[in-house]
Amino acid sequence: MQSTELMRTDRAVVEATSRPALAPHVRLRFDRSRSNHVLLGPEEVVVLNGTGAAILGLCDGRRTVAEIVAELHGRYDRVADGEVQRFLARLVAKRCVEVSDG
């Protein structure tokens, strides 16, 4: 899959040039009782795996999705651009992540 392709999930669009950031009402925290990172929203707690936490930890509103994927390639053996875009698109659809155009 080419990084310039769009990923659409529940009307959310995340492009390689999009700049994702956590929504203002959402926090990324490490939960010691679960020994996992969690995404905390007003009425929801999402338990994340290590890769999901790494992706969201890079979502600062300045980096593009392509830059996030490049950073992840340096940390992990296998990173699929499309999977990162789909993950972010699902969180955009849930209003946990916001994207601005690059």
- pLDDT tens digits, 27-47: 999 999 999 999 999 988 999
Report the predicted TM-score, pTM, of the whole model to 2 decimal places. Answer: 0.84
CATH architecture of 7-96: Alpha-Beta Complex (3.90)
Sequence ranges of the domains in the chain: 7-96
> Bridge partners of 62?
none
Q: Does the pLDDT value for residue 17 go beyond 70?
A: yes
Burial class (CB in 10 A: 0-12, 13-18, 19+), 3: middle
